């Protein structure tokens, strides 16, 4: 069964939401939207027409997951209209989308969430309360978040959203009805430079929940270094046998002036690496959009072969990565006389092998010889490890710039840390040496103020030497 996609934008974030149930479409209105942040137009879904879909229960559950699986808080503005505050702009976008399709998130307490839902049977808006039993928070290592809720009938559901690779690994055999169609659309969205998320759910029996909740509660109340491991084990026990509902694609638009800034810094002789948690296709598209990749560059794609990945043996994976690195480096050396620029693109699994001690030096030898490097599906720990490894291997000064909590380790590891203040919070700014409101100001910070600082320090050193010579010779002669 194919997917329908909706498109909207809010707070600088644009999203495509795939809903199981009809032919694929991506229809965007170029006119100003009547609802701020919502620019989707499709007569098959708007104005309550989605209730005529053939798989109504799945569509209803998809919107319900959008409206319940989040950490957002509804706030009334001066005009008594609801607006949302959440940990990320993506969650706000999902809440806006759910609201436009008849699933309005109204209130939240520590133990309850209230929705105004469109009842498909009557076509009227109905207020429903969901008891919030547990929240399994998102983290960069988990790459997913879940909520466990109980409806008014006492039925318990686990609602989950996260990276498609993580969700797909946790699907039940009877929960893969939309996997093929969703995978193809996710690939297309990634190639368009959009960040992707998958949505799924499962019904949990009361006895199973009671047993699991005792384990989860014990893990939460544990004090000590093993607490995180116990929580992760408990989460793994319940986040399984999921039923796939659909996917969302979010465009994190580049700020103004980013391509021009990166181009100027490259011309100044800086080598720029992009470390991102996005999929490879998304990262490559962003690389072209921000001038990190150019069409005249030859790209090396470092990733595990299907044979090595299927064997899942560390020795075989190491040999596979080393073979690719040596092959790429040989090509790089042979064509270096032509002054042809090269770019290296590394996916997450290959990077994990490449950063091992017996492979790292050869990987870095290849990477530092390339004009641009893009590392995909990178965790915060890997970002910090890459920064430290490059600093130690080259002996050069490193600068890290980021805007989110997952960039803090990288910013602290670099010689110079730059934080961008914005919608992702202030963690990166608090951990940095310099704070910027936008990425494009990095050009002036380095090329203008960096040059002035270099000249001032040079003059100060010369003056310091002159002062010491003058004072020393005065004492010597007199």
CATH number of 3-252: 3.40.1110.10
Give the pLDDT band of residue 430 (cuts 50, 70, 90).
Answer: very high
pLDDT score for 135: 93
pLDDT digits (tens, 9 = 90+) for 20-46: 544 443 433 333 333 445 556 566 666
Cβ(293)–Cβ(343) below 8 Å: yes
pLDDT score for 8: 30
What's the whole-number mean pLDDT along residues 311-334? 85
Distance CA 274, CA 259 (A): 13
Domain pair 3-252 / 258-451, same fold: no
pLDDT score for 52: 67
What's the whole-number mean pLDDT along residues 65-91? 83
Q: For residue 325, is pLDDT > 80?
A: yes
pLDDT score for 410: 94
Distance CA 345, CA 303 (A): 9
Q: For residue 470, is pLDDT > 80?
A: yes
Q: For residue 76, is pLDDT > 90?
A: no
Average pLDDT, the chain: 84
Which backbone phi and psi does 427 adopt, to 5 degrees? Answer: -60, -45
- Within 10 A of 241 (CB to CB), how many other CB atoms are there? 16
Query: Does the structural domain 258-451 have CATH classification 3.40.50.12140?
Result: no
pLDDT score for 24: 41
Instruction: Return the minimum-mean-pLDDT range out of 45-59, 147-161, 201-215.
Output: 45-59
List of residues 6+ apart from 151 with CB closer than 8 A: 128, 130, 157
* DSSP assignment of 430-466: HH-SEEESSTTHHHIIIIIIHHHHHHHHHHHHHHHHH
pLDDT digits (tens, 9 = 90+) for 195-239: 889 999 999 999 999 999 999 999 998 888 888 889 999 999 999
pLDDT score for 48: 67
Domain residue spans in the chain? 3-252, 258-451
Give the pLDDT band of residue 49 (cuts 50, 70, 90).
Answer: low
DSSP code for 52: G
Q: For residue 363, is pLDDT > 70?
A: yes
| pTM higher than the cut 0.85 | no
Give the tokens for residue 46. 């708007």
* Strands 144-150 vs 125-136: parallel, antiparallel or unpaired: antiparallel
Distance CA 234, CA 244 (A): 21
Enumerate the known binding-site residues for Mg(2+).
Answer: 403, 407
pLDDT score for 38: 55
Starting at the edge strand that comes first in sequence, how are the strands of the sheet with 3-10 ordered?
A: 3-10, 13-20, 243-252, 195-204, 156-162, 144-150, 125-136, 112-118, 103-108
Instruction: Return the minimum-mean-pLDDT range out of 176-180, 337-341, 383-387, 447-451.
Output: 337-341
Give the pLDDT band of residue 475 (cuts 50, 70, 90).
Answer: confident
Return left, alpha or beta for 241; rule: phi > 0 is left, psi -120 to 50 is alpha, else beta. left
List of residues 6+ apart from 53 with CB closer than 8 A: 21, 22, 59
Distance CA 48, CA 60 (A): 12
Q: For residue 380, is pLDDT > 60?
A: yes
Enumerate the known binding-site residues.
Answer: 91, 138, 161, 195, 276-278, 377, 383, 403, 406-407
Enumerate the known binding-site residues for ATP.
Answer: 91, 138, 161, 195, 276-278, 377, 383, 406-407
């Amino acid at each position: 069964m194919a997917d329908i996609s909706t498109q909207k934008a809010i707070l600088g974030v644009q999203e495509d939401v795939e809903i199981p149930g009809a032919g694929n479409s991506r229809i965007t209105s170029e006119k100003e939207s009547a609802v701020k942040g919502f620019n989707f137009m499709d007569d098959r879904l708007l104005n309550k027409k989605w209730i005529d879909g053939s798989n109504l229960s799945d569509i209803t559950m998809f919107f319900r997951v959008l409206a319940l699986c989040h950490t957002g808080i509804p706030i009334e503005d001066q005009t008594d209209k609801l607006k949302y505050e959440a940990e990320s702009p993506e969650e706000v976008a999902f809440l806006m989308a759910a609201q436009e399709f008849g699933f309005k998130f109204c209130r939240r307490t520590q133990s309850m969430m209230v929705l105004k839902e469109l009842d498909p049977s009557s076509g009227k808006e109905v207020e429903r309360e969901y008891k919030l039993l547990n929240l399994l928070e998102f983290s960069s290592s988990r790459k997913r978040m879940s909520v466990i809720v109980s409806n008014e009938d006492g039925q318990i559901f686990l609602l989950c959203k996260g990276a498609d690779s993580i969700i797909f690994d946790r699907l039940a055999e009877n929960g893969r009805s939309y996997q093929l169609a969703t995978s193809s659309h996710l690939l297309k969205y990634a190639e368009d430079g959009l960040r992707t998320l998958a949505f799924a759910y499962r019904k949990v029996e009361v006895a199973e929940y009671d047993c699991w909740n005792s384990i989860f509660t014990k893990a939460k109340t544990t004090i000590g270094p093993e607490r995180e491991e116990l929580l992760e084990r408990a989460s793994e026990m319940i986040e399984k046998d999921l039923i796939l509902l659909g996917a969302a694609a979010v465009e994190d638009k580049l700020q103004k002036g980013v391509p021009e800034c990166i181009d100027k810094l490259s011309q100044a002789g800086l080598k720029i690496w992009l470390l991102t948690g996005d999929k490879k296709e998304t990262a490559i598209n962003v690389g072209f959009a921000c001038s990190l990749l150019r069409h005249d560059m030859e790209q090396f794609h470092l990733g595990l072969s299907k044979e090595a990945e299927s064997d899942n043996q560390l020795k075989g994976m190491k040999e596979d990565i080393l073979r690719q690195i040596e092959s790429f480096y040989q090509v790089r050396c042979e064509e270096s006389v032509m002054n042809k620029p090269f770019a290296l693109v590394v996916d997450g699994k290959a990077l994990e092998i490449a950063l091992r001690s017996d492979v790292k030096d050869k990987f870095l030898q290849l990477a530092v010889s390339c004009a641009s490097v893009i590392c995909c599906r990178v965790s915060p720990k890997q970002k910090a490890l890459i920064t430290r490894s490059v600093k130690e291997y080259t002996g050069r000064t490193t600068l890290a710039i980021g805007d989110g909590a997952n960039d803090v380790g990288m910013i602290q590891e670099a010689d110079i840390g730059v934080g961008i203040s914005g919608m992702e919070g202030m963690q990166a700014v608090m951990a940095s040496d310099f704070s910027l409101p936008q990425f494009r100001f990095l050009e002036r910070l380095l090329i203008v103020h960096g040059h002035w600082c270099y000249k001032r320090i040079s003059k100060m050193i010369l003056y310091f030497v002159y002062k010491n010579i003058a004072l020393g010779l005065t004492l010597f002669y007199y």
